[in-house]
Structure 1
């Protein structure tokens, strides 16, 4: 594992809320307008287009908004709502499409086309697709204005009512929902030079093609063209909504220039504070986060759990893995009483799991934790970095499944970490410990742990890359049916990688808990 800290130029990306929209009765025979003649389209054509685009200079075009829509604030932008009765395939398919209006931070034109019978036809911008609320729009916006993105609806919970299942809005960000889930963390198409001194480059999806599904289809395919100063890409998303919504993602990337750090299958989340809080907060809520840990499944069969933190300085951690079985940002704590938030409903925020399709080779999962003083900032990023670095003119292809879930019993198949609590190790009976010494309490549950008697000789395999550890204590937790590990750690002023897992007669019973301790 590699640990380093670097300066970072922060960029707060506020993505507009995706609230449910009210209905407006508009009798229409068709729900959207097509412009121009259809053109042949499939994923291979998109790959060729992305490759050709990589040979051209990058064009960072922006939208010219009409008067009344320029310079909108967050609340003003949210007042622009798509008219539900204008949705594409309204009442004709199990899926329907609603569009986002350009404006606020979403000032790059996004073109959307519908693919039917192997031919693509663009969706024309029309003013009547939207209601503008209190915003006063001067004049008629041009038909080539484009959109900011779109979202798909599907009867996720019961027949009839349509529920939002995925939304693409802002750069290459998208968010997915399964049954009984509330929006939290985001996925991205690509991350470039995250946490690098030169600053991060944010690729964007500039065009989408949505394949028209059969009337009773329970899956849908979306294609996207990605563009940035140093890379283009062709993406295909095959989405199947359900209790766990799954997107199978295929992408072909074409670098315009050398890229020092290419982040594949990136995930972005928020962690403000949790049960192991190290910051004082004047807040009635015990915990505030969209995700509470990073899960990694190595190709060698080890399962790793890293609790997330809101650090005092930027932290970048790397987990070297060859042919990973998967990784994800997870929200494990599903108890409302641990959040006490009736508005944000953090206990219903989904986890996202990346499952590679095929062998990814050598590389590492990288975790970036950014200091944040507000919960509105996404300050957690995780992604896969391939080896060797990406060079200009060398295409790269990748496939993976992205799963949005509340709980997967097999993730991991062993006992899992259920909580991490940290406090001072300078107790009345332990006054000789240094002031910076910490007392760690790690709880494990699940797997075979509930079936083991308290007399079983479980072994806590605990290590630290630097500093000094006091002998750990292992106890059966009669209140939960799990097991608890206590240990004290005296640092030596250097960052330290702490690790802990439970074993029985040398065989691992649990995933490996890891924690990065850094000097204050």
Structure 2
């Protein structure tokens, strides 16, 4: 595409994207920089709230009514062409009132995908309504990930800037987001939204799918290019360009949200037949110093915010390490099949920190866990900020080292004012090691550690590290533990905040 074509197309696309309801036109040129230019242009203007206008009868749909509105699979984008990917669309209503513009890109030309009521089936309880061009709430991508002749749902973009994905053999769990702003701040969180997407038609033999997205918010605009590769691990290559309208002091990059209700480390006041209930059980970090950290999640009594300062992080993510059905005993939810999500920064991200937010919850329906990278220096208004990273959705993180890993954290009372911590580890480097050469190193701030014991665990083929910690009723305790051999690390570093 040459400059003249780009300029011609740029005169039409902003009208379609920035002013929903504009009359549809023929295909317009679309290039690699189109969405980036749209984001830059959008950030130079005052923010306008998303279009939430809906027929009155769709405004008050309940959960079951909305769930009964289904896109007809036989009308999926690219099904007739028998391409390796298909797209299906979500109807607006219930929580999902914002209108999202969708486009198909073919041979450098963008065509708007128009809403057609006949593409959906409606449940008997959905009230009749009249509408010509409602637009969409989002979309989902299908591909033959488990069987070569069946198109499974691989990812979904729906609501604000949220999206989820699965790998082979998995079910949906935690979510990623395009961007978070002021998460955990007292003044309240700002929720950016994806307002438009461009889906590039895949080739007949394609193994990847390219999706472009335009994000908007009161404080900034941004463009995204996602390259999706489904498989044993489903990978998203993400190219992001961020244009702040104001200084962003609390921006969250590569954010993710998950749920932790209870587990063996946190079962206070839980009356449930299941041993554990969570979409993720820990935060893993591979920091710029080459150190691997494991922070088990908890459901605290009060809001907890932890920041792990770093320079040029190599990776971080909310993980679901526990993969045994017996750890959950939930036939319907299948928590053991929920994916982990690992963020791999591409290039240097500079100074900042991985932020973990744990919010108290009394129900498993709430996503009470958030994690993201926060730059140390605020992102300045009217600046351009480019970030590239890779999202790995799958059973585990790409393993960056051969150190043993913590797979279970158990906590229980041990007398008055003392807690017993029992940590299980697995790893090939623990096999055949002389038990007398392994030592557990445990430290704590403002607390006494006693009875440190290390021993093989014949059930897991790994090792167990246990210790007692004196705790006070109203003082959080920061703990750190690892296994060493001849003063050299045998394991990653376990870090934990015991918050009564």
TM-score (norm 2): 0.93
SS at match of 2:431: helix
Counterparts of 2:271 and 2:208, CA distance in 1: 45
Correspondence for 2:37 among 33, 48, 53: 48
Question: Does structure 2 retain, via aligned residues, the 8 Å contact 1:207–1:224?
Answer: yes
Report what 1:155 is aligned to.
Answer: 144
Report what 1:375 is aligned to.
Answer: 364
Q: Please report how far the alpha carbon of residue 411 of structure 1 lies from its aligned counterpart in structure 2 after TM superposition.
A: 5.5
Report what 1:120 is aligned to.
Answer: 110
Q: Please report how far the alpha carbon of residue 120 of structure 1 lies from its aligned counterpart in structure 2 after TM superposition.
A: 0.6
Deviations 1:258-307, CA, capped at 9 Å, x for gaps:
22211000011000001112412221111100000000001111100000
Q: Please report how far the alpha carbon of residue 321 of structure 1 lies from its aligned counterpart in structure 2 after TM superposition.
A: 1.2
SS at match of 1:242: coil
Q: Structure 2: where are the runs of 5+ without partners?
A: 1-22
Correspondence for 2:439 among 428, 434, 459: 459
Q: Please report how far the alpha carbon of residue 465 of structure 1 lies from its aligned counterpart in structure 2 after TM superposition.
A: 2.1
Structural mapping, 1:97-496, within 5 Å = 97-143=87-133, 145-408=134-397, 410=399, 413-426=402-415, 435-454=416-435, 456-491=436-471, 493-496=474-477
Moved more, 209-218 or 459-468: 459-468
Deviations 1:184-219, CA, capped at 9 Å, x for gaps:
000000010101000010101000000011012111
Correspondence for 2:65 among 69, 73, 76: 76
Question: Does structure 1 retain, via aligned residues, the 8 Å contact 2:57–2:129?
Answer: no
Deviations 1:226-254, CA, capped at 9 Å, x for gaps:
00100110000000111101000010000
> Would the alpha carbon gap of residues 436 and 43 (structure 1) be closer, same or farther in structure 2, given more than 3 Å must change?
farther
Q: Please report how far the alpha carbon of residue 453 of structure 1 lies from its aligned counterpart in structure 2 after TM superposition.
A: 3.2
Q: Structure 1: where are the runs of 5+ without partners?
A: 1-33, 427-434
Question: Does structure 2 retain, via aligned residues, the 8 Å contact 1:171–1:203?
Answer: yes
SS at match of 1:151: strand
Q: Please report how far the alpha carbon of residue 139 of structure 1 lies from its aligned counterpart in structure 2 after TM superposition.
A: 4.6
- Indicate the RMSD between aligned Cα atoms, in angstroms: 1.5
Question: Does structure 2 retain, via aligned residues, the 8 Å contact 1:43–1:223?
Answer: no
Counterparts of 2:232 and 2:429, CA distance in 1: 26
Q: Please report how far the alpha carbon of residue 161 of structure 1 lies from its aligned counterpart in structure 2 after TM superposition.
A: 1.0
> Would the alpha carbon gap of residues 168 and 440 (structure 1) be closer, same or farther in structure 2, given more than 3 Å must change?
same
Question: Does structure 1 retain, via aligned residues, the 8 Å contact 2:36–2:223?
Answer: yes
Question: Does structure 2 retain, via aligned residues, the 8 Å contact 1:234–1:251?
Answer: yes
Report what 1:509 is aligned to.
Answer: 490
Between the two proteins, the alignment pairs up a number of residues equal to 476
Q: Please report how far the alpha carbon of residue 479 of structure 1 lies from its aligned counterpart in structure 2 after TM superposition.
A: 3.1
Counterparts of 1:127 and 1:508, CA distance in 2: 61
Q: Please report how far the alpha carbon of residue 481 of structure 1 lies from its aligned counterpart in structure 2 after TM superposition.
A: 2.2
> Would the alpha carbon gap of residues 409 and 235 (structure 1) be closer, same or farther in structure 2, given more than 3 Å must change?
closer
Report what 1:62 is aligned to.
Answer: 51
SS at match of 2:213: strand
> Would the alpha carbon gap of residues 423 and 139 (structure 1) be closer, same or farther in structure 2, given more than 3 Å must change?
closer
> Would the alpha carbon gap of residues 247 and 465 (structure 1) be closer, same or farther in structure 2, given more than 3 Å must change?
same
Deviations 1:123-159, CA, capped at 9 Å, x for gaps:
011110111112445453122x210000000011122
